[in-house]
């Protein structure tokens, strides 16, 4: 048992009879020379806040009672500090969206904050260190609120009421006194210049209603009437105190949304109703506009769309009921700059109408806004089409992360569709540091879970009490598992364990450990090209049962990781029963095929390990035959495509998998890329579906191809063992590719694999993260000369632990470090 005090690494240790408690007392980040990079850095408080100490339990709403209004109140409180400030912390929980200001300046850089949750269950607050913003004497705090999802009604969401917020400021004075100030009836409220704000429809901003200094001390609230008295009907009034949304306050532990990139515009058409701008990239966010020479009251509108019609107008039918229009009413005060604050759009094109004089492309910038996760991975190869596909995947992923994984960012949805997320999450984890983002969404699963264990199709959800399609909601189990594998932290498995178990139990009971009936399915192999009923890829019972096997089998693995052997065995047995029922019902041993013999009905059982071992080779061969007969083109939808390409590659058909992935004809990713896509389409034939009403050009599911690029082409295989412990590096040297490279920043440093063909062989560079090991599989090497850093390959070389031959491959076990293999 450790002794209380500080250990050598600066951790505080307290000793108790049965457990030890650690808290971080000091943090050093040292570079290669031993310099502490963290010394002197600012540290902001976050999760250590105890919400019970938040003072008055009041929320303020500047407009009226809790009604569904397009309201965007400003709230302010001026106060005097009677001493020198040592430190100050400001905690803010705003619903739907809120920005906080202190002494005239914005605090924090997050946009569209806080993250979306089921506000009746959980509200996320942000904490800010405002020590340097306050001083002795007069000070002021301001809050600017928007509707966000709190005051929004749509297909899967019911509004709660008008926006509201709760904030607490705690000030510590130099003389040791503290003072706490909270939102309450002593705050003032007024209408902001935002006349309307809505996530789907956009904003209307009247610059004549701006209130200079509204967030600074010294405002005379009795006389402030904005820049133009006529356009500013209401002066400041006492804020109204209303009920909170009911959810528990919790610290927001994911990165806030933010502006992550900007794009210049090109004017592509001068139309009578306004210039059309092309940003060259389908993105999610908004347009910033510089306006000069406007008269007060001039109205300028910015409309958004992903595509143009044949005659060059914006094509907006597929936005459905989303207006996606921002309107700015000018103050007439010199050069004005406008950008939205409480809405976002999915667009590549914009049309500006009512602009005074000539609009110059330089007056316009598009800003990409999403959850500001760091990039984690990069992939490139010698096939330029696939580099564009990787680009499209990255932009498809980032454009669909707005504090939840969305289906699409432009039409009247933007929901956390579970099916879309389980398909694309591994691609997200390869490309972005998305673990905190996913952990947050898993807590949303907790909030959405029914007492019986199932979860709904979209999360958060307010519209349905029904269980999801069981092939969609496997996020409940698969996303914790993917996070663990990509990050190595068992914490998420522990946190989610009982929720996962209840989920698996619910569906096992529904299936009686056997086939899960078709009636539970809703979407199946959605948007497939064969064996469909409308948009649904059939048969439901086959997919329902296959994915039930996957979650049961995965839960058994999770139990084993957590050392719960009894559960591991129990769920392994139950998974086996499901597998047996599956094979009994769907496998035709004569034909060596499952169900209707479609690409998906072959691929899903192979991918999930449902094919009896002795049949695997024959079934994989039948799948390959089927794909060849289909001209090397996929016929699969949401559920089958990921299994298809990985299964082909894993069973000896990597060249065929590559043919499918790099297929230039419809359907496929390269087809999309060559036909103008800069993100991923919802449908393989989205180009023919423009105007059909269900057609998004920025949809998350098919971004999963990026996982294939990292895993199969670069060969970075993150298996059941987490990346922090062991990885396999096994690139597929497919016909038609000269080189490929992938790099992933793991919690233990970089993991890299880069190969390139040479005269008569190839070179492979591998970097294995610290404290980890790797199995490197060198293909086409058994009869070749193999060296590492110029020396003959042998277990005596530093870092190399063993060398074996398997078929035509040489298999090398290595420790962490950098390796240069040459195969000639
Ligand atoms: C969404 C999908 C989703 C589906 C369910 C659509 O409207 O955009 O991506 O998974 O509904 O079938």
Is 80 exceeded by the pLDDT of residue 614? yes
Is residue 671 within 8 Å of residue 664, measured between CB atoms?
yes
Strand 299-305 with 188-191, pairing: unpaired
Regarding the beta carbon of 526 and ligand 1, being less than 6 Å apart is answered: yes
Alpha carbon of 639 to ligand 1 centroid (Å): 12
Rounded (5°) CA angle 666-475-154: 80
User: In this structure, are strands 345-353 and 299-305 parallel, antiparallel, or unpaired?
Assistant: antiparallel
Q: Which of 319, 420, 425 to mutate to test the pocket of ligand 1 (most atoms within 8 A of CB)?
A: 420
Q: How many whole angstroms separate alpha carbon 224 and alpha carbon 233?
A: 11
* Matching fold, domains 58-191+213-251 and 257-371: yes
Between strands 248-251 and 122-129, the pairing is parallel
Q: Is the pLDDT of residue 40 over 90?
A: no
Q: What is the pLDDT of residue 14?
A: 42
Q: Dihedral, CA atoms, 227, 228, 232, 235, nearest 10 degrees?
A: 60
CATH code of the domain made up of 257-371:
2.60.120.260
15 pLDDT above the threshold of 60: no
**Looking at residue 784, what is its pLDDT?**
94
Question: What is the pLDDT, as a whole number, of residue 12?
Answer: 42
The total of other beta-carbon atoms located within 10 Å of residue 37's CB is: 10
pLDDT tens-digit readout, 700-734: 999 999 999 999 999 999 999 999 999 999 999 99
Beta carbon of 408 within 6 Å of any ligand 1 atom = yes
Q: What is the mean pLDDT of residues 328-346?
A: 96
Q: Which residue's CA lies nearest to atom 12 of ligand 1?
A: 523
Does ligand 1 come within 6 angstroms of the Cβ of 415?
no
Distance CA 625, CA 10 (A): 61
**Contact 603/657 with Cβ under 8 angstroms?**
no
Compute, in angstroms, the gap from residue 230 CA to the centroid of ligand 1.
47
30 pLDDT higher than 80: no
The mean pLDDT of the chain is 91
What is the residue-wise DSSP string for 234-282?
A: ---EEPEEE---SPEEEE--SPPEEEEEEEE-EEEEEETTEEEEEEEEE
For the stretch 726-764, pLDDT in tens is 999 999 999 999 999 999 999 999 999 999 999 999 999
Query: What are the tens digits of pLDDT across the range 100-152?
Result: 999 999 999 999 999 999 999 999 999 999 999 999 999 999 999 999 999 88
Nearest CA to ligand 1 atom 1: 407
Q: Of 412, 413, 456, 468, which is best to mutate to test ligand 1, by the most ligand atoms within 8 angstroms of its C-beta?
A: 413
Q: Which of 428, 554, 578 is nearest to 496 (CA)?
A: 554
Distance in angstroms (rounded) separating the CA atoms of residues 74 and 98: 10
Does residue 39 register a pLDDT over 90?
no
User: How confident is the model over 287-309, as a mean pLDDT?
Assistant: 96
Return the closest-CA partner of residue 289 out of 206, 366, 192, 370: 366
Structure tokens that stand for 754 in this block: 């880069």
**The ligand 1 atom nearest the CA atom of 472:** 10
**CA distances for 540 relative to 6, 416, 580, 779, angstroms:** 58, 22, 18, 39
In this predicted model, which residue has the larger pLDDT, 477 or 221? 477
Q: Is the CB of 602 under 6 A from ligand 1?
A: no
414 Cβ neighbours under 8 A, 6+ residues apart: 199, 200, 402, 406, 407, 408
Q: How far apart are CA 227 and CA 660, in angstroms?
A: 61
Judge whether residue 57 has pLDDT over 70. Answer: no
Average pLDDT over residues 381-390: 98
How would residue 236 be classed by pLDDT, with cut points 50, 70 and 90?
confident
Q: Enumerate the domain spans of the chain.
A: 1-43, 58-191+213-251, 257-371, 726-823
Q: Are 768 and 721 in contact (CB under 8 A)?
A: no
Q: Which of 464, 406, 350 is nearest to 456 (CA)?
A: 464
User: Dmax over Cα atoms in the chain, in whole Å?
Assistant: 88
Cβ–ligand 1 contact at 413 (below 6 Å): yes
Closest CA to 22 of 39, 5, 36: 5
Atom 6 in ligand 1: which residue has the minimum CA distance? 407
Is the pLDDT at 682 greater than 80? The verdict is yes
Cα–Cα distances in angstroms (integers) from residue 418 to residues 296, 443, 597, in the given order? 47, 14, 27
Compute the average pLDDT of residues 286-308.
97
Bridge partners of 145? 98
Tell me how far apart the alpha carbons of residues 199 and 403 are, in angstroms, rounded to a whole number. Answer: 14
In the block, tokens 């932290």 appear at 489
Residues known to be catalytic? 413, 682
What are the pLDDT digits (tens) for 388-408?
A: 999 999 999 999 999 999 999
Coil, helix or strand for 655? helix
Other CB atoms within 10 Å distance of the CB of residue 286 = 28
807: left (phi over 0), alpha (psi -120 to 50) or beta: left
Please tell me if the CB atom of residue 671 comes closer than 6 angstroms to any atom of ligand 1.
Answer: no
Beta bridge pairs of residue 127: 91
Per-residue pLDDT at 161: 79
Contacts of 812 (CB under 8 A, 6+ apart): 775, 776, 778, 788, 793, 800, 802, 803, 804, 821
Rounded Cα–Cα distance for residues 515 and 110 (Å): 47
Beta carbons of 663 and 648 less than 8 angstroms apart: no
pLDDT higher than threshold 90 for residue 153: no
Span of 88-92, 241-245, 620-624 with lowest mean pLDDT: 241-245
Query: If you measure from the C-alpha of residue 745 to the centroid of ligand 1, how many angstroms do you get, rounded to a whole number?
Result: 32
pLDDT at residue 45 above 50? no
3-state secondary structure 40-83: CCCCCCCCCCCHHHCCCCCEEECCCCCCCCCCCEEEEEEEEECC
The kind and range of the H/E element at 579 are: helix 565-586
Residues 399-442: pLDDT tens digits? 999 999 999 999 999 999 999 999 999 999 999 999 999 999 99
Residue 228 in this model has a pLDDT that exceeds 50: no
Q: Please count the residues of the chain.
A: 824
- Spatial separation of the C-alpha atoms in residues 275 and 506, rounded to whole Å: 55
State the sign of the Cα–Cα–Cα–Cα dihedral 559, 560, 562, 564: positive
Reported as a pLDDT band with limits 50, 70 and 90, residue 61 is low
Gap between the Cα atoms of 679 and 702, Å rounded: 10
Q: Is the CB of 97 under 6 A from ligand 1?
A: no
Residue 478's pLDDT band, with cuts at 50, 70 and 90, is very high
- Confidence class of residue 692 from pLDDT cuts 50, 70 and 90? confident
How many CA atoms lie less than 13 Å away from 430 in the CB half-sphere? Answer: 29
CA-CA distance, 96 to 118, in Å (whole number)? 11
Residue that the structure tokens 């009636």 belong to: 519
Q: Which CATH class is domain 726-823?
A: mainly beta
Topology (CATH) of 58-191+213-251: Jelly Rolls (2.60.120)
Residue 514 pLDDT: 92
E strand spans, 45-177: 59-61, 73-81, 85-95, 97-102, 105-107, 122-129, 137-146, 164-173
Q: Are 244 and 166 in contact (CB under 8 A)?
A: yes
Q: Give the integer Cα–Cα distance in Å for 504 and 476.
A: 9
Residue 555 has pLDDT above 60, yes or no: yes
Q: Is the pLDDT of residue 795 over 90?
A: no
Task: Say what the pLDDT of residue 31 is.
Answer: 74
pLDDT in tens, 482-504: 999 999 999 999 999 999 999 99
What are the Cα distances from residue 743, in Å, to 387, 651, 731?
14, 25, 13
Instruction: Please give the share of the chain, as a percent, with pLDDT higher than 70.
Output: 91
Residues 65-75 have pLDDT tens digits of 444 455 799 99
Cross-strand partners of 755: 740, 764
Give the residue carrying structure tokens 């096992």.
Answer: 508
What DSSP element (H or E) covers 770?
strand 761-778
Which range is most confident: 6-10, 121-125, 162-166? Answer: 121-125
User: Ligand 1 atom 11: the closest Cα is on which residue?
Assistant: 417
CA-wise closest residue to 320 among 155, 528, 525, 116: 155
d(CA 249, CA 84): 30
| 263 pocket-lining for ligand 1 (C-beta < 6 Å) | no
Confidence check: pLDDT of 307 > 90 = yes
DSSP letter for each residue of 723-765: TTTEEEE-----TT-SEEEEEEEETTEEEEEEEEEETTEEEEE
Average pLDDT over residues 633-637: 98
Which residues, listed in sequence order, are joined to residue 329 by a DSSP beta bridge?
206, 299
Confidence band, pLDDT 50/70/90 cuts, at residue 76: very high
């Amino acid at each position: 048992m450790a002794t209380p005090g500080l250990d050598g690494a600066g951790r505080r240790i307290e000793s108790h009879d049965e457990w030890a408690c650690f808290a971080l007392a000091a943090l050093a980040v040292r570079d290669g020379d031993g310099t502490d990079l963290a010394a002197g850095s600012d540290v902001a408080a976050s999760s250590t806040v105890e919400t019970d100490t938040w003072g008055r339990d009041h929320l303020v709403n500047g407009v009226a009672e809790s009604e569904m209004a397009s309201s965007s109140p400003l709230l302010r409180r001026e106060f005097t500090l009677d001493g020198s400030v040592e430190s100050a912390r400001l905690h803010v929980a705003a619903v739907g969206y809120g920005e906080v200001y202190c002494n005239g300046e914005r605090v924090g850089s997050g946009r569209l904050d806080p993250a979306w949750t089921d506000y009746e269950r959980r509200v996320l607050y942000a904490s800010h260190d405002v020590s340097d913003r306050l001083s002795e004497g007069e000070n002021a705090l301001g809050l600017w609120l928007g509707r966000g999802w709190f005051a929004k009604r749509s297909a899967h969401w019911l509004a709660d009421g008008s926006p509201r917020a709760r904030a607490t400021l705690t000030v510590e004075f130099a003389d040791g006194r503290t003072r706490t100030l909270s939102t309450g009836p002593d705050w003032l409220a007024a209408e902001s210049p935002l006349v309307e704000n809505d996530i789907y429809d956009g904003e209307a901003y009247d610059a004549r209603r701006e209130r200079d200094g509204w967030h600074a001390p010294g405002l005379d609230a009795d006389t402030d009437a904005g820049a133009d008295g006529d356009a500013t009907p209401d002066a400041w009034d006492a804020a109204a105190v209303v009920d909170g949304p009911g959810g528990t306050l919790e610290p927001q532990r994911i990165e806030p949304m933010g502006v992550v990139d900007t794009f210049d515009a090109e004017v592509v058409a001068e139309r009578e109703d306004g210039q059309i701008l092309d940003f060259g990239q389908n993105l999610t966010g908004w347009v910033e506009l510089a306006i000069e020479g406007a008269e007060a009251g001039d109205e300028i509108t910015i409309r958004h769309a992903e595509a143009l019609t044949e005659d060059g107008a914006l094509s907006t039918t597929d936005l459905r009921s989303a207006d996606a229009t921002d309107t700015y009413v000018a103050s007439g005060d010199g050069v004005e700059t406008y950008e939205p604050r409480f809405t976002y759009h999915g667009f590549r094109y914009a049309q500006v109408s009512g602009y005074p004089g000539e609009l110059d492309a330089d007056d316009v910038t598009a800003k990409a806004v999403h959850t500001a996760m760091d990039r984690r991975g990069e992939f490139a190869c010698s096939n330029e089409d696939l580099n564009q596909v990787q680009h499209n995947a990255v932009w498809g992923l980032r454009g669909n992360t707005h504090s939840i994984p969305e289906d699409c960012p432009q039409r009247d949805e933007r929901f956390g569709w579970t099916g879309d997320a389980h398909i694309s999450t591994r691609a997200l984890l390869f490309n972005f540091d998305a673990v905190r983002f996913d952990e947050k969404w898993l807590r949303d699963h907790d909030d959405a879970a029914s007492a019986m264990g199932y979860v709904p199709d979209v999360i958060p959800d307010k519209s349905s009490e029904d269980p999801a399609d069981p092939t969609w909601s496997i996020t409940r189990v698969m996303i914790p598992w993917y996070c663990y594998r990509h990050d190595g932290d068992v914490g998420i498995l522990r946190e989610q364990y009982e929720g996962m178990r209840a989920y698996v139990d619910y569906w096992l009971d529904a299936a009686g450990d056997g086939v899960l009936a078709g009636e539970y399915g809703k979407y199946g192999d959605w948007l497939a090209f064969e064996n469909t009923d409308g948009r649904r890829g059939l048969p439901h019972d086959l997919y329902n049962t296959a994915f039930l096997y996957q979650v049961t089998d995965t839960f058994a693995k999770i139990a084993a990781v957590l050392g719960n052997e009894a559960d591991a065995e129990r769920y392994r047995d139950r998974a086996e029963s499901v597998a047996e029922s599956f094979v009994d019902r769907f496998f035709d041993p004569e034909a060596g095929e499952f169900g209707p013999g479609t690409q998906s009905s072959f691929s899903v059982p192979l991918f999930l390990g449902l094919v009896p071992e002795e049949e695997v080779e024959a079934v994989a061969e039948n799948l390959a035959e089927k794909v060849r007969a289909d001209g090397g083109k996929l016929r699969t939808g949401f559920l089958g495509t990921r299994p298809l390409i990985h299964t082909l590659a894993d069973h000896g058909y990597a060249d065929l998998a590559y043919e499918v992935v790099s297929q230039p004809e419809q359907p496929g990713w390269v087809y999309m890329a060559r036909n103008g896509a800069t993100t991923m389409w919802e449908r393989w034939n989205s180009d023919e579906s423009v105007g059909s009403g269900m057609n998004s050009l920025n949809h998350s599911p098919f971004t999963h191809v990026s996982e294939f690029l990292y895993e199969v082409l670069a060969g970075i295989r993150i298996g059941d063992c987490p990346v922090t412990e062991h990885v396999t590096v096994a690139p597929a040297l497919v016909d038609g590719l000269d080189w490929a490279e992938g790099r992933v920043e793991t919690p233990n440093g970089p993991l890299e694999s880069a190969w390139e063909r040479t005269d008569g062989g190839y070179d492979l560079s591998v970097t294995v993260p610290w404290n980890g090991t790797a199995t490197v599989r060198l293909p086409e090497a058994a009869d070749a000369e193999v060296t590492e850093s110029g020396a003959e390959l042998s277990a005596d070389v530093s870092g190399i632990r063993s060398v074996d031959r398997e078929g035509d491959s040489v298999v090398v076990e290595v420790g962490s470090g950098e390796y240069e293999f040459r195969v000639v």
